[in-house]
Chains A and B, each alone.
Chain A
Amino acid sequence: MEKTETPTNNSKFHQLNPLVKLLFTIVFIVFINLTPAKAWGAYALFFLYLITIISSAGLKFSDLAKRTLISLPFILAAIPLIFAGNSPYEVIPIFGNEIMISVEGWQKFLSITIKSILSILAALLLVSTSRPTEIFFALERLKIPSLFISIINLAYHYLFVIQDEVLCMTRARSSRSSSGLTKKSGGGGLMWRAMITGGMAGSILIRSIERSDRVYAAMLSRGYNGKTIPSIQDSKNINRSEYPTIIIGVFLVLIIWIYSLLIVG
């Protein structure tokens, strides 16, 4: 799992209130998903819109594009649409066989894939221009219970520490050949390998429970009162000067969406 790079440069988009960015991202993704299938022109406009923000924020598109691949396995779920859609069908010869492909199903499949990639790009734009903790505190502004925010925040803080532990353990396992597939290579059968992995999971959990005792003691020593952890930087209210940006940003999304309804409907 790659660490998300903390935002380094300071474009205008970086400096926007994280709550504004979060809300804009959600609005953007919702309207992409409300866009009908086969609205190719609108998809292109949404893409152009994203590219404009990405480049003006000084981010490299190629870095973001790589990470959109995360949705790749899921595209399998939509592939049956290609073959099972409505008529008209087109016959395509592949390796001497003739395969029936539904035109409508194919277009729907392509639409879902494009929408998914656009949504992920928008979400990536959010995380590459704001720190995760900023996003969590922005959630607090959206009336999400602060107990929950505190837990997420703590979990995120300890994630990398515990991930290092897991990596150490995995390395230890492979250095002792216990990941071998047979007894000869120092390993064991399938059951044995599964039980070893289970033992590792168990020991990570026990270590973490013991760690949480220490965390609790440390929190107490710093005056933890049994309530939620106070926000490190109090999440800021949306600044008045940011309203025009929000309105223009959302307005553009709406225009693209209406355009999509016009060209398809």
Chain B
Amino acid sequence: MSHLPFLSSKLMHIPDGFLSVLVSVIFWIISIMVIIKALRETNRLLSERQLPLMGVLAAAIFAGQMLNFTVIGGTSGHLLGAALATILLGPWSAIIVITSVVSIQALVFQDGGLIVLGANIFNMAIIGVLVSNSIFSLSKKLFGSKKWGIIVSGFLAAWGSIFIASLSCAIQLAISGTSPANIVIPAMAGIHALIGIGEGLITAGAIIFILAARKDLLEVNLTNSANSKGILIGGSIIAVVLAILSPLASSHPDGLEWVAEKSGFLGFANDAFYNIIPDYTFPGIDDPSLATIVAGILGVVIVFSVVVGLSQRKKQTTIN
């Protein structure tokens, strides 16, 4: 299983030391609030056989992350599984399942740090699930529940979840002053735009298999995932905000520098230590990669608005 380390899913698991304590605490608070809500919803909505189902599925997704396929000599495509979990279980349970996976990876295998666990949960479990939920539901509305529509929706959801989660990860690193915004954001986005394709293809393949073998498993949640509008809109807003914020942040690192300074002063007044994002000038890297990321993000926004627009129109015609 040879693969270059920097093309694996490891890049999304931030270790301790790479985020400032304040950033870690903020994302702990956000994640805990979402997890409590998710636990409540799961408790309310689902039957008692859900506990073993969620536990075993978490193990399956953890183990499934070992699956890979060769892309070109040395690099390989991996599975992270947020989109698959969302499609099979619905958003709230999927958040719990992926949170369990990420927590076990941090607590037992040191894959991702302990005090940054809140941020890792936020990126992979919360953003990953909410974004793939929104993309999947919206594009399914667009394509209808034809077989290829579900498969394409699965691909888009998986790609989007990886891409947007990596943006969030990059912004956290930039706010913490670990890496200059104008470098880390395009780099993370670029790498994960590629990793996302692997994730998307595996997810699509898995959906094809499940449609052939146990179609009933998908149908339950296909109807079920006409879930509350709030979570759908929430996921879409997260995706769009991050997609717009990231190129802005990477082309104007001053804004993030301001945030970093503020958070530094809140942390403790140690000017020399926290004056972390100086005026970076990094000729050569700046422009071409920025161009790619802007293009990628424009793509996301366009796909999103087209999908939203079309699904709105479709809804109106069905009402009429």
Contacts and interface: CB of A to CB of B under 8 A. Distances in A.
Contact of B18 (A74, A147, A204, A264): A74
A201 B18 CA distance: 32
- Binding site of A, secondary structure by majority: helix, strand, loop or mixed? helix
Interface residues of B, number: 94
Given A78-B178, A119-B15, A198 B56 contact: no
Contacts of A229: 51
Contact of A34 (B21, B43, B201): B21
Contacts of B196: none
B55 interface: yes
Interface string A189-223: 01101111111111111111101110110010000
A161 B63 CA distance: 9
A203 B213 CA distance: 8
Given A73-B5, A147-B51, A201-B202, A123 B209 contact: no
Contact of A150 (B51, B57, B179): B51
Contact of A205 (B20, B54, B206): B206
A167 to B, nearest CB: 8
B271 to A, nearest CB: 10
B79 interface: yes
A29 B108 contact: no
A181 interface: yes
B173 A226 contact: no
Interface stretch (A49-57, A80-88, A237-245): A80-88
Given A81-B180, A123-B113, 19 more contacts: A29-B16, A30-B115, A33-B20, A70-B111, A83-B282, A132-B107, A147-B42, A159-B63, A162-B63, A166-B66, A195-B208, A197-B77, A201-B64, A201-B67, A205-B88, A208-B60, A209-B57, A213-B49, A265-B270
Interface of A: 1, 4, 25-26, 29-30, 32-34, 36-37, 67-68, 70-74, 76-78, 80-81, 83-86, 108, 112-120, 123-124, 127, 132, 135-136, 145, 147-148, 150-159, 161-163, 165-167, 169-170, 179, 181, 190-191, 193-209, 211-213, 215-216, 219, 224, 226, 228-229, 261, 264-265
